[in-house]
């Protein structure tokens, strides 16, 4: 899809040369000459003659051209010869942009971004119309919340509805395969029938995660605009506006880095950055913002908030957070490590059967790691489908026998299996005591075929963490970050004393994970009862000594916990509903999704189109200051942007991961490289054993395991 998109934009830029702007703009200054196409030296099929240079790097709107004859200046007709033929898929001409503004609100590790912009359909004759494509590239774990579009004759807005509501409107619903994520977490949406020469106002809201590193939060938002969207002839000044609020109820330092100049203000518990200017050209760099969390030691807090008047759940809300501080750890927990790498046929990395690099534990020296790495590349060839139960059981048997070691289990997969619920229940049974010797489970999903609700649930049960990569380019970085975080626990067995004194409470996730030195710990929930002014937090330090800290309880009125924790709680409850097969929990997720305005597996997104009809009576003029009324609603169903519950058939068929433009062994190669680089951390402090297991496809005579298991202590 990304390659097709870039090709369509390239064709659109060529096609835009038809547009005549007047004698004062000759020769034309619009579309740049396409780069000379040369054969790539790389043998990978991921290489394309047309690179993804035209992939959106900022919010963009495109005219979708199927009939090339309609391409013309809506103000100055050029009367060019008729052009025969059609474009399928449509050519994409980037529209000229007149104004752009971005508002950002940061709460702990979540940012809410609102982008508003104005575009001009400058490339379609006034007597014709075309569909328009909105493309919104988002940052880390971005999720679309809301889109509103205003054109001359129509308005469009997205809306969440509960699954099943479509039955009531079946006579007015047009189902469309639209509204989906492209590569690089870019959301696209088609707006039908926009008049040539009209002005389009677009407002988009999404949420994304801030990256925490070295006691700093980093925010990066795609905001680099190409030069060809700057209007060549305009009486309207081009305005660019940025506004960033940091409101976290904790001590923050002034922004250390900001790619855009602006005014910075600071108040207790919050800071803000603002920038507004009339510009001659649009921003050519992403918006990057970093701020420092002021503390050298572990610190945290507990925020309380009353439910809104329209909240179906009348229990109060709370959010508990811990930050590791800036002090460098001099002593680490001793660990046992097991890697379960899914190297089935879809990932083309490991062969069938069970093979062992070593039958006993070995010291993780540089030489041993080098020998093990060479052995993996030479020995393992892909075959088989996914099986997880047996490798997990074997991993549990290997670890947890020494009460002074923290067992860590890493599960990396691109597929789904039939017995995922049984696996979760088995892991629940093995984590009954919840002590230091209970394995911490860290899961990583690749592509769209794996069950992205099973993997988080497994991590929650194991008091670990989960991450995923839907783009092959992100596998190495995200997997390495998961390794780095998991291998640096700072405080284990974290508990809150005051929870047991409440009348009732519900925690998301249900088991508090460990505090890692490279990642904050954030949990939220609902409760009935009363928290004291100070709450004791307990845990286990790296030297196995007990740690106790008092944190202050704050009641908040200007921070909406409902909004801040909405996506996290919806995802956790969805995983719980999947595990329990509980219809009541599914309904609860749907209610929470609708109330908080975040998409879920149990809600649908629709695009509501409303036509603007000019008033014909004096009464209608008085009732509507804008001299228009809305009517003739049309509903278009959009794709669900959620990750889904996996694709068992695709996994069984050994199809490559649900990642576009990916070589069959590309994902597996990156996984092995990331794991190999991780082993360097074990030098002089680890002993480990490597076992590899794969399994045959269903069509063969045997059904065997397929996962390599790496253990260390």
Measured in whole angstroms, the distance separating CA 347 from the mean position of its chain's CA atoms is 22
Structure tokens at 398: 């290997």
pLDDT at residue 463 in the model: 92
Residues 352 and 479 in one domain: yes
Per residue in 588-642, pLDDT (tens digit) is 999 999 999 999 999 999 999 998 766 555 455 444 444 444 457 888 889 888 8
- C-beta atoms surrounding 376 within 10 Å: 22
The three-point CA angle 322-324-326 to 5° equals 140
Rounded mean pLDDT, 653-674:
53
Per residue in 41-71, pLDDT (tens digit) is 333 333 334 446 788 999 999 999 999 989 9
Residues 524 and 610 in one domain: no
Q: Which residue among 567, 592, 613 closes a domain?
A: 567
Kindly tell me if the per-residue pLDDT of 112 is higher than 90: yes
Query: Which pTM value belongs to this model?
Result: 0.83
Q: Which residue among 637, 664, 685 closes a domain?
A: 637
| Alpha carbon distance 197, 92 (integer Å) | 16
* Average pLDDT over the chain, rounded to an integer: 78
Kindly tell me if the per-residue pLDDT of 37 is higher than 90: no
3-state secondary structure of 256: coil
pLDDT at residue 459 in the model: 94
Residues 380 and 422 in one domain: yes
Residues 696 and 629 in one domain: no
| Alpha carbon distance 229, 231 (integer Å) | 6
pLDDT at residue 357 in the model: 61
Q: In which element (H, E) is residue 267 found? A: strand 263-267
Higher pLDDT, 630 or 677: 677
| Alpha carbon distance 569, 509 (integer Å) | 8
Residues 423 and 552 in one domain: no
Per residue in 299-316, pLDDT (tens digit) is 899 999 998 888 888 999
Q: In which element (H, E) is residue 672 found? A: helix 666-679
Q: Is residue 582 part of a domain?
A: no
pLDDT at residue 654 in the model: 61
CB 291 within 8 A of CB 271: yes
Per residue in 252-296, pLDDT (tens digit) is 555 555 555 666 666 666 667 777 777 778 888 888 888 877 777
State the pLDDT confidence band at 234, using cuts at 50, 70 and 90. Answer: low
Kindly tell me if the per-residue pLDDT of 317 is higher than 80: yes
| Alpha carbon distance 196, 63 (integer Å) | 9
Structure tokens at 152: 């001359």
Residues 263 and 401 in one domain: no
pLDDT at residue 622 in the model: 46
State the pLDDT confidence band at 157, using cuts at 50, 70 and 90. Answer: very high
Q: Is residue 529 part of a domain?
A: yes
Residues 690 and 652 in one domain: yes
Higher pLDDT, 242 or 117: 117
Q: Which residues contact 160 (CB under 8 A, 6 or more apart)?
A: 593, 594, 597, 599, 603, 604, 605, 606
| Alpha carbon distance 695, 345 (integer Å) | 9
Q: Is residue 594 part of a domain?
A: no
Residues 69 and 189 in one domain: yes
Share of the chain above pLDDT 90, in %: 36
Q: Is residue 585 part of a domain?
A: no
pLDDT at residue 262 in the model: 60
pLDDT at residue 53 in the model: 78
State the pLDDT confidence band at 695, using cuts at 50, 70 and 90. Answer: very low
The H-assigned helical ranges of 597-647 are: 618-623
Rounded to whole angstroms, what are the CA distances from 491 to 60, 263, 297, 538?
44, 38, 12, 9
pLDDT at residue 666 in the model: 52
Share of the chain above pLDDT 70, in %: 71
Residues 120 and 15 in one domain: yes
Q: Which domain holds residue 309?
A: 300-329+491-567
Measured in whole angstroms, the distance separating CA 337 from the mean position of its chain's CA atoms is 27
Kindly tell me if the per-residue pLDDT of 3 is higher than 80: no
The H-assigned helical ranges of 380-522 are: 389-398, 420-430, 454-461, 475-486
Q: Is residue 89 part of a domain?
A: yes
**Tokens 């519900």 — which residue?**
506
Residues 405 and 533 in one domain: no
Q: Which residue among 637, 654, 682 closes a domain?
A: 637
Kindly tell me if the per-residue pLDDT of 167 is higher than 60: no
State the pLDDT confidence band at 168, using cuts at 50, 70 and 90. Answer: low
pLDDT at residue 226 in the model: 92
Q: Is residue 597 part of a domain?
A: no
Strands 629-637 and 173-175, bridge-based pairing: parallel
Kindly tell me if the per-residue pLDDT of 27 is higher than 60: no
Q: Is residue 575 part of a domain?
A: no
Q: What does the DSSP 8-state code read for residue 337?
A: E
CB 252 within 8 A of CB 293: yes
State the pLDDT confidence band at 170, using cuts at 50, 70 and 90. Answer: low
Backbone angles phi, psi at 283, to 5 degrees: -55, 135
Q: Is residue 572 part of a domain?
A: no
pLDDT at residue 634 in the model: 86
Residues 516 and 626 in one domain: no
pLDDT at residue 328 in the model: 64
For the chain, the domain total comes to 3
Residues 55 and 158 in one domain: yes
């Amino acid at each position: 899809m990304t390659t097709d998109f870039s090709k369509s934009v390239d064709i659109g830029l060529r096609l835009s040369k038809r547009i005549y702007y007047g004698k004062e703009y000759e020769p034309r200054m619009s579309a740049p000459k396409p780069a000379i196409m040369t054969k790539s030296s790389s043998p990978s099929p991921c290489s394309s003659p047309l690179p993804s240079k035209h992939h959106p790097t900022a919010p963009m709107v495109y005219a979708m051209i199927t009939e090339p004859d309609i391409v013309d200046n809506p103000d100055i007709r050029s009367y060019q010869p008729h052009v025969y033929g059609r474009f399928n898929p449509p050519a994409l001409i980037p529209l000229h942009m007149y104004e752009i503004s971005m508002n950002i609100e940061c709460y702990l590790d979540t940012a809410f971004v609102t982008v508003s912009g104005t575009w001009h359909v400058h490339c379609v004759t006034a007597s014709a119309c075309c569909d328009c494509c909105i493309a919104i590239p988002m940052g880390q774990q971005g999720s679309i919340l809301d889109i509103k579009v205003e054109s001359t004759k129509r308005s469009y807005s997205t809306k969440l509805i509960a699954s099943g509501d479509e039955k009531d409107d079946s006579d007015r619903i047009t189902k469309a395969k639209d509204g989906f994520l492209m590569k690089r977490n870019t959301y696209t949406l088609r707006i039908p029938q926009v008049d040539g020469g009209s002005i389009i106002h677009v407002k988009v809201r999404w949420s994304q995660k801030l990256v925490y590193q070295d006691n700093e939060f980093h925010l990066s938002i795609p905001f680099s605009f190409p030069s060809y969207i700057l209007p060549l002839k305009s009486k309207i000044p081009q305005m660019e506006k940025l506004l960033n609020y940091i409101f976290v109820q904790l001590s923050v330092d002034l922004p250390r880095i900001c790619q855009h100049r602006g005014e910075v203000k600071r108040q207790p518990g919050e800071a803000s950055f603002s920038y507004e200017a009339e510009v001659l050209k649009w921003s050519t760099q992403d918006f990057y913002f970093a701020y420092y969390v002021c503390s050298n030691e572990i610190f945290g807090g507990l925020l309380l908030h009353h439910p809104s008047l329209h909240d179906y759940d009348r229990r109060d809300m709370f959010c508990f957070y811990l930050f590791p501080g800036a002090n460098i750890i001099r002593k680490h927990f001793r660990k046992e490590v097991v890697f379960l790498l899914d190297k089935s046929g879809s990932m083309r990395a490991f062969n069938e059967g069970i093979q062992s690099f070593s039958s006993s534990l070995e010291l993780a020296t540089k030489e041993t790691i080098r020998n093990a790495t060479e052995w993996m590349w030479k020995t393992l060839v892909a075959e088989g489908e996914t099986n997880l139960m047996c490798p997990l059981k074997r991993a549990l048997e290997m670890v947890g026998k020494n009460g002074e070691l923290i067992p860590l289990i890493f599960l990396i997969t691109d597929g789904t299996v039939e017995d995922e619920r049984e696996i979760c229940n088995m892991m629940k049974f093995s984590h009954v005591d919840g002590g230091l010797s209970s394995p911490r489970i860290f899961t990583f999903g690749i592509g769209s075929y794996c069950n992205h609700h099973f993997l988080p649930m497994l991590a929650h049960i194991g008091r670990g963490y989960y991450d995923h990569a839907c783009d092959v380019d992100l596998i190495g970085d995200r997997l390495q970050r998961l390794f780095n975080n998991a291998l640096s626990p700072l405080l284990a067995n974290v508990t809150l004393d005051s929870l047991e004194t409440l009348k009732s409470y519900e925690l998301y996730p249900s088991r508090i994970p460990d505090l890692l030195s490279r990642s904050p710990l954030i949990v939220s929930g609902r409760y009935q009862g009363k928290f004291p002014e100070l709450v004791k937090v307990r845990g286990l330090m790296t030297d196995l000594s007990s740690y106790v800290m008092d944190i202050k309880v704050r009641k908040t009125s200007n921070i909406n916990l409902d909004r801040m924790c909405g996506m996290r709680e919806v995802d956790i409850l969805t995983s719980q509903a999947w595990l329990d097969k509980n219809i009541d929990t599914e309904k609860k997720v749907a209610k929470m999704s609708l109330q908080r305005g975040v998409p879920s597996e149990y809600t649908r997104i629709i695009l509501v189109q409303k036509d603007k009809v000019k008033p014909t009576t004096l009464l209608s003029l008085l009732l509507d200051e804008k001299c228009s009324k809305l009517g003739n609603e049309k509903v278009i169903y959009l794709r669900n942007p959620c990750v889904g519950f996996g694709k068992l058939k695709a996994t069984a068929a050994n199809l490559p991961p649900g990642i576009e433009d990916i070589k069959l062994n590309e994902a597996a190669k990156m996984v092995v490289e990331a794991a190999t680089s991780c082993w360097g951390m074990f030098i002089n402090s680890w002993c480990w054993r490597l076992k590899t297991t794969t399994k045959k496809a269903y069509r063969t005579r045997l059904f065997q395991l397929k996962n390599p298991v790496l253990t260390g202590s």
